[in-house]
Amino acid sequence: MSRDPLHILQSVFGYPEFRHQQADIIHHILSGGDALVLMPTGGGKSLCYQVPALCLDGLTVVVSPLIALMQNQVEALNQLGIPAAALNSSQEMDEQSQVRKALMAGEIKLLYVAPERLFSGNFPDILKRLNPALFAIDEAHCVSQWGHDFRPEYRRLALLQEQFPTVPRIALTATADTETRKDIVERLGLQYGKVFQSGFDRPNITYNVTDRKNGLNQLVSFLKNNHPDDAGIVYCMSRKKVEATAEKLQDAGYNALPYHAGLPSEVRATTLDRFLKEDGLIIVATIAFGMGIDKPDVRFVAHLDLPKNMESYYQETGRAGRDGLPATAWMTFGHQDIVKIKQLMGASLPPEQRLIENQKLSSLLDFCETVSCRRVLLLTYFGDENPAPCGNCDNCMAPPTLIDGTEDARLALSCIYRTGQMYGSGHIIDVLLGADTDKIRSTGHDTLNVYGKGTSKTRAEWQSLIRRLLALGYINTDTEGYGSLSLDEKCRPLLQGKESLHIRKLEKSKGGSSRSRAP
C-alpha cells in the first residue's frame, strides 16, 4: 500500500509542491520502476527517494559514499521526525548494534550505508531478511571510470539487481555526461529503467568566454564594467597565481582574499565565514574552494584558467546566482591552458584514464571555441535533447563574425611540419611573421619557404588560430610540458583540401566585458 507523495511532501517536509521532475520520478518509483536521476547539486535529488521511502511500507536502503554527508542527511531526517539511521565504519560497535536492533524491529524507514558495508560480514543476510522496499544509490557516477570520482566498491552494487530482482532501484547523480550515463546504466543494470534529467539549465547565468591577452587586466576591466561592488569567486589553477591575483585585485581597490589548501585552516575558515557574511567580497581561489558553499548572492564566477572539464566548469560556475538573479560566468582562455592541462594529465594518469580525460578536455575546448550558443553546448553535454539558443551568452548577444581560415590553417600546419614538429606556438608564429630572433637565425628557419608568409595576420590572430587547431585536435602538444606542437592525423583532410575551416574574426580591441542581462 502506498501513501500520497504530495501529502507526504507537504505534511512531513513542509514544501508546497514538487520541483522539476520530482513528481514524475516518485510516481515512476512507486509504480515499481527503476530510475536514473540526473539533477544538478541543489536540484532536489534527495526527495526523489525520501518521499517514496515514506510512501512505501518497509525499509529504503540508501547507498552513499561519504560518511559526513550520510550523517547530515540522517540528522536532517530525524529532525523532521523520520526514523532514519546510518551504518558506517566510523561508528562504535554498540552504536552499530543498536542500529541493527532497530532495523530488525522494523523501526527504521531509511538506512544510509556505505557501499562496502552492503556486502560485508553478515549484512547481506540481514538485508535479505529485512526485505527492503527500495534501493537508492546516491552519487551513482562513482560506479563509472568515466565519472570523476570512481570507487571500485560501487561496482559491487551490480549484485543488488541479482539478489533483489524485484526491488526498485533509483540511482542519482549530479554529474554525468553521455558516456558516464551509459556506463552507470550498464553497471547498475538499469536497462529497463527510465532516465530522468532535469534542472541543469541556469537561465540567470550569462556565459562569457574571451581570448586571454593579459588575464588579470581583462579581469579587472570585467569587474569594473559588470560587477564593481559584487561578491564573486575567481578561480585560478595554482596557489601562486591565487596569491598574485588577490594582491592585484586589492591594488585595484577590490575587497579580495586568497583561498587555497596551502593556507592555515583558521585563515581559510575566517575567509569562508567573511565571504558568507559580508557583502561584495571577492574570493580568489583554487578549486579547493567551493565544496558546500551555499551563498545565494554570488554575482559572478570568473575563471582565469581553464577548469578541468565541463563537469567542473558547470559546478564551479553553478555557484553563481543561486538566488535566481542575473549572474555572470566569465572565463579567459589561452592555449597555454591546454598545454598545462595536458602536462598534468600526462604526468599523473594511467593511459586508459588519460584517454578519457582527453575526450573530456576536448568537450570543454569545444565549449570555449564555439561560435554558437554556449548554453546549447552545455545543456547538450549534459544530455538535453534540443535546447534552444539562449539569448543570454556572449555568442547569442553578439554573434561573432566568421571568416574562412582554411588557407591560414594550412600555412600554420605546414610551418609546424617544416620546422620539425618540435617548437611551441611562439616560435611557429615568429617564423610565420618573418621575425628576426636568435632562435630563427640559429635554426635557419628563415630559409624555409613558410618564413614571413603570414604577415597578413597579427600575432593575436595566429594565436587564436593555433588554439582553434588544438581545440579541434588537428594539432597536439607534447605531454612533457614544453608546448611543442605536432600534427595530428585529423588534420589530413584539411591539408588535402577536402575540408575547410571557419574561424572567429578577432575584434580589434575586445576588452572582454559584457553586460549581464536577465533571462
Binding site for Zn ion (CB under 5 A): 373, 375, 390, 393, 396
Least separation in angstroms between residue 377's CB and ligand ADP is 23
**Is residue 515 a contact partner of residue 504, using CB atoms and an 8 Å limit?**
no
Least separation in angstroms between residue 201's CB and ligand ADP is 15
Can you tell me which of 45, 148, 202, 340 binds ligand ADP, judged by CB under 6 A?
45
Least separation in angstroms between residue 316's CB and ligand ADP is 15
Can you tell me which of 21, 29, 35, 44 binds ligand ADP, judged by CB under 6 A?
44
What would the grid cell of residue 186 be? 550498464
Least separation in angstroms between residue 197's CB and ligand ADP is 13
Least separation in angstroms between residue 68's CB and ligand ADP is 14
Q: DSSP letter string over 16-67? A: SS--TTHHHHHHHHHTT--EEEE--TTS--HHHHHHHHHHSSS-EEEE-S-H
d(CA 28, CA 6): 14
**Is residue 123 a contact partner of residue 158, using CB atoms and an 8 Å limit?**
no
d(CA 298, CA 316): 11
**Is residue 175 a contact partner of residue 311, using CB atoms and an 8 Å limit?**
yes
Nearer to Zn ion by Cβ, of 167 and 390: the residue is: 390
Least separation in angstroms between residue 80's CB and ligand ADP is 10
Give how many residues touch ligand ADP by CB under 6 A.
Answer: 12
For 421, phi and psi rounded to 5 degrees?
A: 55, 40
Nearer to ligand ADP by Cβ, of 142 and 475: the residue is: 142
Q: Tell whether residue 42 is a contact of ligand ADP (CB under 6 A).
A: yes
Nearer to ligand ADP by Cβ, of 14 and 444: the residue is: 14
Sign for the pseudo-dihedral over CA of 375, 380, 382, 388: positive
Can you tell me which of 8, 35, 38, 47 binds ligand ADP, judged by CB under 6 A?
47
Q: Tell whether residue 336 is a contact of ligand ADP (CB under 6 A).
A: no
Residues 76-105 touching ligand ADP, rule: CB under 6 A, are none
Please state at what angle helix 46-55 crosses helix 22-30, rounded to 10 degrees.
Answer: 40
**Is residue 24 a contact partner of residue 97, using CB atoms and an 8 Å limit?**
no
Binding segment for ligand ADP among 44-52, 158-166, 276-284, 373-381 (CB under 6 A)?
44-52
- Give the burial class of 71: count Cβ atoms within 10 A of its Cβ; 0-12 exposed, 13-18 middle, 19 or more buried: middle
Least separation in angstroms between residue 515's CB and Zn ion is 14
Least separation in angstroms between residue 389's CB and Zn ion is 5
Nearer to Zn ion by Cβ, of 396 and 435: the residue is: 396
Residue 213 interface partner, choices Zn ion, ligand ADP, none, CB cut-off 5-8 Å depending on type: none
Q: Indicate the residue type of 380.
A: T
Least separation in angstroms between residue 400's CB and Zn ion is 12
Q: Tell whether residue 63 is a contact of ligand ADP (CB under 6 A).
A: no
CA distances from 303 to 5, 241, 272, 283 (A): 42, 12, 19, 12
Nearer to ligand ADP by Cβ, of 42 and 228: the residue is: 42
Q: Tell whether residue 41 is a contact of ligand ADP (CB under 6 A).
A: yes
Least separation in angstroms between residue 150's CB and ligand ADP is 20
Residue 71 interface partner, choices Zn ion, ligand ADP, none, CB cut-off 5-8 Å depending on type: none
- Give the burial class of 14: count Cβ atoms within 10 A of its Cβ; 0-12 exposed, 13-18 middle, 19 or more buried: exposed
d(CA 486, CA 465): 15
Can you tell me which of 46, 145, 353, 479 binds ligand ADP, judged by CB under 6 A?
46
d(CA 159, CA 283): 45
What are residue 485's DSSP bridge partners?
477
Q: Binding string to ligand ADP for residues 9 to 38, with x set by CB under 6 A, is what?
A: ------x--xx--x----------------
**Is residue 306 a contact partner of residue 337, using CB atoms and an 8 Å limit?**
yes
What would the grid cell of residue 220 be? 579587472
Residue 469 interface partner, choices Zn ion, ligand ADP, none, CB cut-off 5-8 Å depending on type: none
Over the Cα atoms of the chain, what is R_g? 26
In a 3-state reduction of DSSP, which class is residue 78?
A: helix
Q: Tell whether residue 213 is a contact of ligand ADP (CB under 6 A).
A: no
Residue 45 interface partner, choices Zn ion, ligand ADP, none, CB cut-off 5-8 Å depending on type: ligand ADP
Residue 43 interface partner, choices Zn ion, ligand ADP, none, CB cut-off 5-8 Å depending on type: ligand ADP
Can you tell me which of 8, 25, 36, 43 binds ligand ADP, judged by CB under 6 A?
43
Instruction: Say which residue the cell 551568452 belongs to.
Output: 393
Q: DSSP letter string over 399-427? A: PPPEEE-HHHHHHHHHHHHHTTS---HHH
Least separation in angstroms between residue 330's CB and Zn ion is 14
Nearer to ligand ADP by Cβ, of 79 and 449: the residue is: 79
**Can you give the binding site for ligand ADP, defined by CB under 6 A?**
15, 18-19, 22, 39, 41-47
